[in-house]
Amino acid sequence: MPKLFSSLALAPVMGITLVALSGCIVIDAEEGVLHENWDGAHTYGPLKGADVSAQTVTIRVTSNGCTTKDFIGADVRKTGSDRFSVGFYREKEDYCRANLPDGVALTWDFAELGIPEGADVSVRNSVRN
């Protein structure tokens, strides 16, 4: 019985078939941006610590060595006549490789957050070590 096809004769056909069946995925995203919510709602991840003083809010967040306030967003909401709550969320991922088991402490003063002096402020995020 004669051979109709040899293995070498099928190689170009198999190559063309693989190229035709393979897909291409293109991701159009800004490097380092974790998410963008269309409705303005954010996911408030757990913090390593939080402290509200008379004029500042300090949070402790996980970090791989490069996290600064530019990496963290703050969502401030008025909850009463002189009461405000702040939710913190990560806007950019930290791709550095430092070992910081305690994370980093970041501080905002009330003016940076648009909160009036002397207001009662709470943090919406949960705190976990």
Bigger pLDDT: 116 vs 23: 116
What's the CA gap between 93 and 74, in Å, rounded? 15
Bigger pLDDT: 37 vs 8: 8
Query: For residue 62, which amino acid is it?
Result: T
Q: Mean pLDDT lowest for which of 25-34, 77-86, 104-113?
A: 25-34
CB atoms inside a 10 Å sphere around CB 94: 19
What's the CA gap between 18 and 70, in Å, rounded? 45
Residue labelled with tokens 């974790």? 34
Is the pLDDT at 24 greater than 50, yes or no?
no
Assess contact for 34 and 67: CB atoms under 8 A.
no
Convert the chain into a string of H (helix), E (strand) and C (coil): CCCCCCHHHHHHHHHHHHHHHCCCCCCCCCCCECCCCCCCCCCCCCECEEEECCCEEEEEEEECCCCCHHHEEEEEEECCCCEEEEEEEECECCCCCCCEEEEEEEEEEHHHHCCCCCCEEEECCCECC
Q: What is the mean pLDDT of residues 19-48?
A: 53
Band of residue 42 on the pLDDT scale cut at 50, 70, 90: confident
Q: What is the mean pLDDT of residues 109-115?
A: 97
Is the pLDDT at 31 greater than 50, yes or no?
no
Per-chain mean pLDDT for the chain:
80
Tens-digit pLDDT profile for residues 56-67: 999 999 999 999
Band of residue 107 on the pLDDT scale cut at 50, 70, 90: very high
In this predicted structure, what is the pLDDT of residue 98?
94
Band of residue 97 on the pLDDT scale cut at 50, 70, 90: very high
